[in-house]
Structure 1
């Protein structure tokens, strides 16, 4: 898919948005959350970011709907390509690497990864999370 699922939105908000969110919307987080994790990014919702050549407010980038791969799978089914497919895995997190835990007795080489969506580049930049961890 193309972006953050609902289960990653809270972490993304805290990784990208700054402390002003804490003060402006105190009900949006648990006050027991460690201060260094609560809204630890440096951006405001109205800040403009470059998302692969498109200028967007941070809020729009964080909240943009996830585009799923269902239309692609439907096209493969309609095009009679299913005879050549021997397995599919739906990974709601760790999609680039999680699939490796479902394969036994085979060696998997993943050397042509999908491009990183702009929202994940933004999260990594502000959270300083390693790319290895970002792919999990």
Structure 2
């Protein structure tokens, strides 16, 4: 018997159809600097060096993680792409970089063109929000490696900043104000604990309506990670931002110190209302509060550190950009983060 690649589980025709279906999504993200269309061996991006005195490229890579398990259970795949983008672009804007372009990596057990198009559509939506171009990627069909219906999704972002304007936290001082931006929920961190508690221990189904949430559990869990790029860039253009942190794994206690000089810390007040999904997890899993704050964002997805005299200007800009900034506290001369 003669075997073909398709007999082995790889369908080249399905791959070509997936590319055809995703083209409209990819093109919707293009900036004037993009020189290539989807289908080439590499994506070309012409950096306008005249805009910068000393341009520095800033890059980041991340994945969606076990949040994908919820997408599989829900059979809903049009939002996780935004998570892949958000986890990368929120990281690089922390250093003062404008995201320029993004590439995705999608590995599947069996290629289903419509599902791939949904996933890439989510990636494109995230890129449009961040103002960066989706200039390429890879879709790998790997039969026998991933079960049918399952996949992994990761991404890679490149941005640019003027060397003199890179934000690294080194200028932060005691008395600087810490501003927090609310999250949209779990974002893309802590899902191993969330799934363990809610799906296994509590036995909730993803399509089950949860009164505390006011919606089905899966709908809440698949809320995509918020993208803060445009609001943060607006602030950077007018305010002397001394440090920033994307609140991901490790939460506020471990991410805020990453944008402070050694030896400094922060005292924060819990002036925000913790979203009900976190309260549900803590209650159902009897999770210690300290562990909750080290695992999840607990309702704050991004932090900016600014001089006290510029705090009002920063919050005004953030509000005009559609954010709901909260004054969380201040930088202190004592290391560590204290949440009162």
Equivalences for 1:97-116 in 2 at 5 Å? 97-102=253-258, 103=260, 104-116=262-274
1:126 aligns with 2:287: no
In the alignment, which residue of structure 2 is the partner of 1:22? none
In the alignment, which residue of structure 2 is the partner of 1:2? 184
| Partner Cα separation in structure 1 for residue 272 and residue 231 of structure 2 | 15
In the alignment, which residue of structure 2 is the partner of 1:15? 197
**1:90 positional shift:** 2.5
| Partner Cα separation in structure 2 for residue 101 and residue 5 of structure 1 | 20
**1:86 positional shift:** 0.8
Aligned residue among 178, 203, 210 for 1:42: 203
Which 4+ runs in 1 deviate beyond 6 A? none
Aligned residue among 190, 193, 218 for 1:59: 218
SS of 2:214's equivalent in the other structure is strand
Contact 2:184 2:223 in 1 (8 A): no
SS of 1:97's equivalent in the other structure is helix
5+ residue gaps in structure 1?
18-38
**1:133 positional shift:** 0.8
Contact 1:96 1:113 in 2 (8 A): no
Aligned residue among 62, 84, 88 for 2:244: 88
In the alignment, which residue of structure 2 is the partner of 1:21? none
**1:72 positional shift:** 2.6
Which structure has the bigger radius of gyration?
A: 2
TM-score of the pair, normalised by structure 1: 0.65
Contact 2:252 2:293 in 1 (8 A): yes
Give the total of aligned pairs.
Answer: 110
In the alignment, which residue of structure 1 is the partner of 2:230? 71
Contact 1:13 1:62 in 2 (8 A): no
| 1:20-62 deviations in Å (ceiling 9; x for gaps) | xxxxxxxxxxxxxxxxxxx1123222222245xx620011111
TM-score of the pair, normalised by structure 2: 0.29
SS of 2:194's equivalent in the other structure is helix
| Partner Cα separation in structure 2 for residue 91 and residue 55 of structure 1 | 25
SS of 1:109's equivalent in the other structure is strand
Contact 2:197 2:284 in 1 (8 A): yes
Larger helix proportion, structure 1 or 2? Answer: 1
